Amino acid sequence: MSNLFDLLVAGLATGAIYALVAVGFTLLWQTSQTINFAQGEFVMLPAFLMLAAMHVGAPFWLAIILGILLSMILLGLAFKMLLVDPMMRHGVLPLAIATMALAIGIKEAVKQFFSAEASPFPSIVPTGDISVLGHAVSLQSIGVLVVAILAVFGLTTLLNRTSLGHQMQAAAQNPTVARIIGVPVERMILLTFLINAFLVALASLLITPIYLAKFSSGEVLGQAAFIAAIVGGFNQVRGAIAGGLLIGVLDNLAAAYVSTQYRAAVPMIFLIAVILFRPQGLLGRAEERTV
Amino acid sequence: MKSTLLVGALLTAITTTGAFAQTIKLADVAELSGGGATVGTNWKNGIDLAIEEINAKGGILGRKLEVTHADSQSNPGVARAQVQKALDAEPYVLLGPGYSGSVKVTAPLAAEAGITQIMGGEAAELTQAGNKFLFRTSFGQQSSMPKVAKYIHDDMKAKSVAVVWVNNDFGRGGRDVVIKELERLGSKVVADLSTEAGQADFAADVGKIKAANPDAVFVYLNEEESARILKELKRQGVTAPLMGETTLIGQKVIELAGDAANGARGHVGLTTDAPVELIKGFRDRFSKKYNYVPDHNGLKGYLAVYMVKATTEKMGKVDPKAFADTLHGLTIKASEEPGILMDVTFDQNGDIDRQSFLVEVVDGKQVVKQVLPKLK
């Protein structure tokens, strides 16, 4: 039983990171019909940006800030202006394929400039345990959960409680009408790209101490987040959150109770079941777009 | 006049062949470039150092040694071509390659030519194919795992053991031997966990280890995965002692895992940090000649040449045909041949038995804690 508790906590911590990445997925889809297959690499890259900043002598806190800012410029602004905007007019599919190419490009570039070997990455949360309900739970797991929950809470507050959020919703739901009533749709779309870049940088900061900084570490993450977004509902932020947590827990339980060899298959099977029986996702709504 | 010329020619011929027969020719094929360049360069430098020492003392049975080095480019295909070329020159003994994959494809060539091959590969299967001409310079898994099992049972006093291994040839090979040995000794394997190469998340695996509550954990993964599981073991507060091989306590793992590597123990067949006077002497001479501290591959190359010396002196003649037969079952004592550094015995498969070392990570550094004796 204590084992189940540990697995749940570890699964939720990983799932919270998947959720951050999956939320970014749905945001981009909602506002600009971008299916970003480079999302996993987007999580891998900020860690290397932070490592590079530390390499030239920045302290860890400064490296984090620089890493996040650089990510927002590269993975938010530059991504939108140099790749999404020019490709968008050719349709959803060419854009999706372009993001696949971008994923390969980012991976190879990191391999070239850093190395193919893994590097250690410092943790923002100190190692150690605290006792929760009589179970020892690592501070790292709790730290990851807390940061992820805060980020998601902040995001939903922004979307539902502020004028800016309402404008973003409007831009996503009906860009034409939004434009007529004076919502700066283009700026709203750019904002979602920046938010996505911020979320992936945060995810990078949280996951890299555990997974190590490696050029290929985005592959697993991108896939998990993609599945999470579809399972939860591609058109709902809360769906992506639920999907992320669910996939994280499911993955850990599958590894423990089914077999390590088939752990990757279990979320896939779940994905197929969802697509067959509830194609809009667990929390998604059919034929509707909202953020 | 004619006859004097003939005699002169004959004399020249005799003296040249005579001088030619005076040197013993060895051929080395190693990873001098490509991914294995560190392995091959250490191996080559070890060989050159040993030959220089032996020649300075008058050679083997009064004959000097000579070696040719060829580059396999860390590529089995190139290794095969280079070995074929080396064998065509009919060397006394073939040295190398260092990579198991390259050894696998070249061993049949040497065996067919009837030339003994002394190599650096460590994969278990290499010496299990019935090749009568292949010899190791370091432990294969079938030699190291029994020592690991013995240490877990005798020294760690573990009655229950969790075994975590990576699901590839390397991991499965080690896992099969260690589990068999642990059970033979009477330590119960309470968790037998296979993991995937490249796996990032070890939370569930460590959860299973925790649930099994073993007295010791044997970790047999590649280096990056070793670092990840060490971190996760620490994160989940597993306190059972950790035992592994070189892959658990290597310098790269320590760098990646940081604090989490402290306390991990590993069995190491050869290390230049060994508390053995002869090895310290080797390390000093090597560092002086090449200006860097060798790794275990430098030791292997050095030992390969002294294996040639000891075997040849045992036969009392330079006989390539009888070489392999003589080396099978031979024990070479360091007291008689200091170049062999530690007493070593070769079995009928070309596997070796030798003392080895138990290394523990203390404050991010490898410390040799114990010398593990020969098995027999």
For chain B, domain boundaries: 2-139+275-342, 142-268+357-372
pLDDT at A3 over 80: no
For an interface test with B, the pick among A1, A5, A7, A123 (most B C-beta atoms closer than 10 Å) comes out as: A7
Confidence of residue A1 (pLDDT cuts 50, 70, 90): very low
In terms of Cβ atoms closer than 10 Å to its own Cβ (0-12, 13-18, 19+), residue B10 is exposed
* pLDDT given for residue B7 in this prediction: 54
Exposure string over A170-180, b if 16+ CB within 10 A, otherwise e: bbbeebeebee
Asked whether the beta carbons of B135 and B364 are under 8 A apart, the reply is no
The C-alpha atoms of residue A140 and residue B124 are separated, in whole angstroms, by 39
Give the predicted TM-score (pTM) of the model. 0.76
Asked whether the beta carbons of residue B207 and residue A220 sit closer than 8 angstroms, the reply is: no
Asked whether the beta carbons of A192 and A200 are under 8 A apart, the reply is no
Task: Please identify among residues 122-141 of chain B the ones whose CB lies closer than 8 Å to any CB of chain A.
Answer: none
Asked whether the beta carbons of A58 and A66 are under 8 A apart, the reply is yes
Would you identify the CATH topology of the domain A2-115+135-277?
A: ABC transporter involved in vitamin B12 uptake, BtuC (1.10.3470)
The radius of gyration computed from the CA coordinates of chain A, to the nearest angstrom, equals 19
* pLDDT given for residue B45 in this prediction: 96
Tell me: cis bond preceding B91? Omega within 30 of 0 counts: no
Asked whether the beta carbons of residue A211 and residue B259 sit closer than 8 angstroms, the reply is: no
Minimum Cα–Cα distance from B200: chain A residue: A211
Roughly how many angstroms between the first and final C-alpha of chain A, as a whole number?
Answer: 38
User: In A114-236, where does DSSP find H-type helix?
Assistant: 139-161, 163-173, 175-180, 185-211, 218-232
Q: Confirm or reject contact between B192 and chain A (CB < 8 A).
A: no
* pLDDT given for residue B6 in this prediction: 53
Roughly how many angstroms between the first and final C-alpha of chain B, as a whole number?
Answer: 68
Confidence of residue A198 (pLDDT cuts 50, 70, 90): very high
* pLDDT given for residue A95 in this prediction: 93
Q: In the 8-state DSSP scheme, what is residue A65?
A: H
Q: Confirm or reject contact between B326 and chain A (CB < 8 A).
A: no
Listed in sequence order, the residues at least 6 apart from A162 whose beta carbon sits closer than 8 Å to its beta carbon are none
For an interface test with A, the pick among B231, B253, B255 (most A C-beta atoms closer than 10 Å) comes out as: B231
The C-alpha atoms of residue A283 and residue A268 are separated, in whole angstroms, by 18
How distant is the Cα of A140 from the closest Cα of chain B, in angstroms?
A: 7
Q: Confirm or reject contact between A154 and chain B (CB < 8 A).
A: no
The C-alpha atoms of residue B14 and residue B24 are separated, in whole angstroms, by 17
Superfamily of domain B2-139+275-342 in CATH is: Response regulator (3.40.50.2300)
Asked whether the beta carbons of residue A210 and residue B200 sit closer than 8 angstroms, the reply is: yes
* pLDDT given for residue A65 in this prediction: 95
For an interface test with B, the pick among A1, A4, A5, A6 (most B C-beta atoms closer than 10 Å) comes out as: A6
* pLDDT given for residue B9 in this prediction: 52
Could you tell me which CATH number the domain at B142-268+357-372 has?
A: 3.40.50.2300
Asked whether the beta carbons of A263 and A224 are under 8 A apart, the reply is no
Three-state DSSP state, B226: helix
Residue B217, amino acid: V
Nearest to B204 among A7, A210, A212 (CB): A7
Taking only the tens of pLDDT, chain B with its 376 residues reads 455 555 555 444 444 444 445 899 999 999 998 778 888 999 999 999 999 999 999 999 999 999 999 999 889 999 999 999 999 999 999 999 998 889 999 999 999 999 999 999 888 888 988 999 999 999 988 888 999 999 999 999 999 999 999 887 778 888 999 999 999 999 999 999 998 877 888 888 998 898 899 999 999 998 889 999 999 998 888 899 999 998 899 888 898 898 899 999 999 999 888 999 999 999 999 999 999 888 889 999 999 999 999 999 999 999 999 999 999 999 999 999 999 999 999 999 999 999 999 999 999 988 999 998 887 7
Asked whether the beta carbons of B9 and B49 are under 8 A apart, the reply is no
Per-residue model confidence as pLDDT tens digits over A52-97: 999 999 999 999 999 999 999 999 999 999 999 999 889 889 999 9
The C-alpha atoms of residue A4 and residue A9 are separated, in whole angstroms, by 9
Asked whether the beta carbons of residue A138 and residue B236 sit closer than 8 angstroms, the reply is: yes
- Could you give the ipTM of this predicted complex? 0.76
**Residue A11, strand partner residues:** none
* pLDDT given for residue B19 in this prediction: 43
The C-alpha atoms of residue A160 and residue A167 are separated, in whole angstroms, by 10
Report the candidate in B41, B104, B33 with the shortest Cα–Cα distance to residue B301: B41
Q: What is the torsion angle, in degrees rounded to the nearest 10, for the CA atoms of residue A185, residue A186, residue A189 and residue A193?
A: -160
Q: Confirm or reject contact between A214 and chain B (CB < 8 A).
A: yes
Q: Confirm or reject contact between B7 and chain A (CB < 8 A).
A: no
How distant is the Cα of B147 from the closest Cα of chain A, in angstroms?
A: 28
Asked whether the beta carbons of residue A120 and residue B203 sit closer than 8 angstroms, the reply is: no
Listed in sequence order, the residues at least 6 apart from B272 whose beta carbon sits closer than 8 Å to its beta carbon are B279, B282, B283, B286, B293, B294, B295, B296, B298, B299
Token representation of residue B214: 């073993």
* pLDDT given for residue B2 in this prediction: 52
How distant is the Cα of B259 from the closest Cα of chain A, in angstroms?
A: 10
Specify the long-range contacts of residues B341-349, CB closer than 8 Å, at least 24 apart: B341/B276, B341/B278, B341/B279, B341/B282, B341/B299, B341/B302, B341/B303, B341/B306, B342/B276, B342/B278, B342/B279, B343/B374, B344/B303, B345/B374, B345/B376, B346/B135, B349/B127, B349/B128
Let me know how long chain B is.
Answer: 376
Indicate if the alpha-carbon torsion angle A245, B199, B149, B368 is positive or negative. Answer: negative
Indicate the range of A15-29, A120-134, A144-158, B186-200 predicted with least confidence.
Answer: A120-134
Three-state DSSP state, A37: coil
Asked whether the beta carbons of B200 and A218 are under 8 A apart, the reply is no
Q: Confirm or reject contact between B195 and chain A (CB < 8 A).
A: yes
The C-alpha atoms of residue A259 and residue B92 are separated, in whole angstroms, by 52
Asked whether the beta carbons of residue A14 and residue B201 sit closer than 8 angstroms, the reply is: yes
**Which chain A positions have a beta carbon within 8 Å of B252's beta carbon?**
117
Confidence of residue A149 (pLDDT cuts 50, 70, 90): confident
What's the whole-number mean pLDDT along residues A226-239?
A: 87
Three-state DSSP state, B363: coil
Nearest to B258 among A10, A120, A252 (CB): A120
Kindly list the distances between the CA atom of residue B25 and the CA atoms of B21, B42, B66, B95, in Å, as whole numbers in the listed order: 9, 20, 5, 11
Per-residue model confidence as pLDDT tens digits over A94-109: 999 999 999 999 999 9
* pLDDT given for residue A164 in this prediction: 92
* pLDDT given for residue B155 in this prediction: 93
Q: Confirm or reject contact between B309 and chain A (CB < 8 A).
A: no
Task: Please identify among residues 159-198 of chain A the ones whose CB lies closer than 8 Å to any CB of chain B.
Answer: none
**Which chain A positions have a beta carbon within 8 Å of B256's beta carbon?**
118-120, 212
